[in-house]
A and B are shown apart, each in its own frame.
Chain A
Amino acid sequence: MAWAFSLPAILLLFVFLLIPFLMAIGLSFSDQRLVPNPNLATQFVGLRNFVRIFADETFYRAVLNNFLFVIIVVPVQTALALLLAIFVNQKLKAVNVFRTIYFSPVVVTMVVVAVIWTFLYNPGEGLINKFVATITFGLLGPYDWLNNPNLAFPAIMLLSIWQGVGFQMIIYLAGLQDIPVYLYEAGQIDGANKFQQFLHITFPMLRNTTIFVVLATTILAFRLFTQVWVMQGPSGHPQGSTITMIVYAVNQGFKQGKIGYASAITVVFFIIVLLVSILQRVFIREERTVN
């Protein structure tokens, strides 16, 4: 009976996740095309795709961008989420309204987010340029945000943080509400100020929440695709400055038809994601034993 209950899910996961995953590995050793050439059968090409990948500058750029995105977005987004959670965890009137407001970008679909921000980033007369000019008294700007190779990727980071941070905030909020009040009372009796309370009570008590938030955000950040594809197209315009591993893989496999090469990229992508999450876990374990 247990197997009857499990069968539908097992079957679906097997056919639509495990098999494609194994196929990706298999295809990465072949020269499979999206539209097969009837005169040229698909062949096993050994490590050729991987050799090519490691000589491919665009691929390096994609990997670099992925890491840049993770290194900047994950800490910023996590810190901002914690700050917001602390704000909306106060016993103040209207705090629910603020919770709702901070969470609302999460329900806006990423394609829509990308489109709105494209308009906001309008070169010259766009709202963001106007804002930058106003707060710097006309010193900075206007910029062509999405066409400037130095600015395009940071611009995409900003809207990604805007859209995603509410989700993390709610998880932190749940973590904050799990902290027993008596810890703060004890802290106050010991003469800890608010900042010391945060450092010695709140932050340590949020350890597990932080681990979860950082892990989840990191993996999501590596999957960066939709924003770039909608705003900058398959090549990671301008001059490949916004290309990511997934954008490059879909471009190669789907647009260029090089399934074998695209599969090799996704295999490397998966290995990187796996390594990063294992590293994070090992690092976290060690800290646990120290505590």
Chain B
Amino acid sequence: MSATSMQHPEITASPYSTGYKIRQGVRVGFNYLLMTLLSIFFLFPIVFMLVSSIKNNETQVLMDMSTLYAFVPRGEIGAQNYYDVFAQMPFERFMFNSVFIVGMMVIFGLMINSLIAYALARLRFKGRALLLAIVIALIIIPLEAVAVPLLLLVNRFGWLESYHVQIIPFMADALSIFLFYQFFIGLPRELEEAALVDGASLFRIYWNIILPLSRPVFATVAILQFLTHWGDFLWPLMVTRGEEYRPLPVAMQQFFSQDPKVWGDIMAFAAMITIPVLIVFLLFQKWFVQSVATTGVKG
């Protein structure tokens, strides 16, 4: 399958011949080499961040930054930079804000978006086709195109400086509805029909039959929403001023733009945003990868 090897396998003699084995070995070795070089490209900034964050001595961080020592924990190693971050700001507050905001957004989003998708996919009602068309059309409107008027609107509601201003506007999501919709129309109808005959309510069918069958798509939407909103920057920047409701990315940017820059502390802050997500990602790697893959199925 590799595009890098262009030999003609059909010309080679028996797969048991020494020549074939050597060529295979070289091919595999070459692939590993290339994949490892690519790994360096993808890993070096992350390793750089983690290693710099545990170097307590700022001079050491700066001294090492232009050499391979940037990737070697040496000198005074410890968690001092992490303590410094906590000493300078209520980091735990920002962490709670981010977790709470994104958590609420994802949980309510799953309910709201899957319910409408269920109606669109499984129920016949007047205006269904039009509603579906509108939802699909809405996928194209990016937040960035409506951020400024949305700010005026929530300001009129008196919503600035709050959690709900960061949660409610993004619970409903056209793309999530579409992903649920696509999954639901693929489910077999027999189970529902049996339940209908038994007199189950539509909500019961949704809750007891559709939902348990749809765990993969729920995971997909949850992961995609989490990844998108964990890094949200533009909107929280617009609607928060003080520290009380500020999420991590905005806090990070404000910490970063203060002078003088203490890179060890900055990297510790960056590491603390990244490590929890990295751990979750490594634990649920399979789910992550599958869920991203399913978004591509739309073709």
CB within 8 Å of B: which residues of A?
A: 1-3, 5-6, 8-13, 15-21, 23-24, 27, 32, 83-84, 86-90, 92, 94, 96, 98-113, 115-120, 122, 125-127, 129-130, 162, 166-167, 170-176, 188-189, 191, 193-195, 198, 202, 208-209, 211-213, 219, 222-223, 225-226, 229-230, 246, 249-250, 253-254, 259, 262-263, 266-267, 269-270, 273-274, 277
Contact, CB under 8 Å: A259 / B3 = no
| A193 B31 Cβ-Cβ under 8 A | no
Closest chain B residue to A188, Cβ basis: B10
User: Contact between A105 and B294 (Cβ–Cβ < 8 Å)?
Assistant: no
A120 contact set on B, CB distance < 8 A: 45, 48
A111 contact from B7, B43, B147, B252, Cβ within 8 A: B252
State whether B231 touches A111 (Cβ < 8 A): yes
Total interface residues in chain B, CB < 8 Å: 99
B236 to nearest A CB, angstroms?
10
In angstroms, Cα B135 to Cα A205, docked, is: 29
* Chain B residues numbered 203-226 whose CB sits less than 8 Å from any CB in chain A: 203, 206
Nearest CB in chain A: distance from B235 CB, A = 10
Would B149 and A194 count as touching, CB distance under 8 A? no
- B3 lies within 8 A of A198 (CB): yes
Are B112 and A12 in contact, CB atoms less than 8 angstroms apart?
Answer: yes
Stretch from B73-81, B82-90, B169-177, B187-195 that touches the partner: B169-177
Question: Is B198's CB within 8 Å of the partner chain A?
Answer: no
A contact residues around B270 at 8 Å (CB): 112, 115-116
Provide the B121-138 mask, 1 if CB < 8 A to any CB of A, else 0.
001110010010001001
On chain A, the residues within 8 Å of B267 by CB distance are 116, 119
Most buried by A among B45, B174, B266: B45
| Given A100-B282, A194-B3, A270-B141; A174-B293 close (CB under 8 Å) | yes
Contacting pair B202 A86 (CB below 8 A) = no
Given contacts A175-B296, A254-B148, contact A8 B140 (CB under 8 A): no
B260 interface hit (Cβ, 8 Å): no
> Closest approach, in angstroms, between the C-beta of B119 and any C-beta of chain A?
4
Which of B's residues lie within 8 Å of A, judged by CB? 1-3, 5-10, 28, 31-32, 34-35, 38-39, 41-43, 45-46, 48-49, 52, 62, 65-67, 70, 112-113, 115-116, 118-120, 123-125, 128, 131, 135, 138, 140-142, 144-153, 168-172, 174, 177, 202-203, 206, 227, 230-231, 233-234, 238, 248-250, 252-253, 256, 263, 266-267, 270, 273-274, 277-278, 281-282, 285, 288-289, 292-299
Closest CB in chain A relative to B267 CB, distance in Å: 8
A225 and B234 within 8 A (CB): yes
User: In the complex the two chains form, is B38's CB within 8 Å of A194's CB?
Assistant: no
A-B CB proximity, top 3 nearest:
A208-B299, A171-B296, A174-B293
C-alpha gap A10/B142 in the complex (Å): 17
Cross-chain contact of B274 among A15, A109, A118, A174 (Cβ < 8 A): A109
- B67-A130 in contact (CB<8A): yes
B7, B149, B252, B299: the one contacting A211 at CB < 8 Å is B299
